[in-house]
Amino acid sequence: MLKVIGGFIGGVLVVAVLSYNFMGSLMFREIPSPFGVEETVARIQQNIQNTGNGWALSGLRNPGKAVEADGGNTLPVMMIEACSTKYSGPILKDDSVRFLSILMPCKISVYKKNDGKTYIGMMNAGLMGQMFGPMVGEIMGHVAADQEKFVQFDPSKPAPAMIKAAPGGGAGGSGSGAAGGC
């Protein structure tokens, strides 16, 4: 009996250690980009606008500016913000999951690393949604499918112009009234 209890406790500890070590890589995704930071941002912006499903650009941020303003130095980092009222609406209307508004708008980070390559970072929306019940899980599953479209690039097409953030943080875009946020 003692061996069974010891084995169970040992198994729980192994799972806990593995979960702790790998949770970040499950919750977030990082994929390499074949383009530089600005071209990657521009291509993602265009893909967001072309995806449909109510997606609109709601911001473009450069978090490195604050570091530079404080006298520091950082490699390029750009945060693309987009929202779909088709997906945000049901969550924002439901009191039991409205706290998930903290995840809105959807953010995609494009950054350069010390290896000189450009990467795309984003939340694993499908996995995150599963943690909050069937309604949120279904919606976030759709968000995850759309996110895959955001990062599909056709290198044979010329790069579009990057859409700079408008005053007030909005980047303009298409969609059903989502400019400036969700």
pLDDT of residue 25: 56
Mean pLDDT over the full length of the chain: 84
Q: How confident is the model at residue 57 (pLDDT cuts 50, 70, 90)?
A: very high
Phi, psi values for residue 61, rounded to 5°: -120, 150
Q: What domains can you pick out in the chain, each with its CATH number?
A: 25-150 (3.30.310.70)
Assess whether pLDDT exceeds 60 at residue 24. Answer: no
Residue whose structure tokens are 């946020």: 181
pLDDT in tens, 29-52: 999 999 999 999 999 999 999 998
Average pLDDT over residues 150-157: 93
Assess whether pLDDT exceeds 80 at residue 22. Answer: no
Find out whether 77 and 38 touch, Cβ atoms under 8 Å. no
pLDDT of residue 127: 85
pLDDT in tens, 98-113: 999 988 889 999 999 9
Read off the tokens for 29: 């995704």
